[in-house]
Amino acid sequence: MRTLGAYFGAGGSLIRAKDELHVHVNTVVQRLDRIQVLLGRDWNEPGRALELQLALRLHLLGGGRER
């Protein structure tokens, strides 16, 4: 969840996301590839991305942890 949050928070920038996560850019790419496997190819299309961003925010507001 942390990778997805960092990616969305960085406006889709791999460079800014990797800086936020303190990992190599290839690590971010690999994690996003795994997210695509889990969520489907459309996870980053505007409507779906909005749903995911809202779900992440609700999770955090509800006391959930970032992983």
45-60 residue pLDDT tens: 999 999 999 999 999 8
Which residues are within 8 A (CB) of 20 and not within 5 positions of it... i.e. 6 or more apart?
Answer: 6, 9, 10
Task: Name the residue with higher pLDDT: 35 or 67.
Answer: 35
Residue 63: the pLDDT is 84
Indicate whether 29 belongs to any domain. Answer: yes
Average pLDDT over residues 2-29: 97
Q: Which domain holds residue 10?
A: 2-61
Contact indicator for 37, 45 with CB cutoff of 8 Å: no
pTM of the model: 0.87
Q: Structurally, how many domains does the chain consist of?
A: 1
Indicate whether 66 belongs to any domain. Answer: no
Indicate whether 67 belongs to any domain. Answer: no
Q: What is the mean pLDDT of the chain?
A: 94
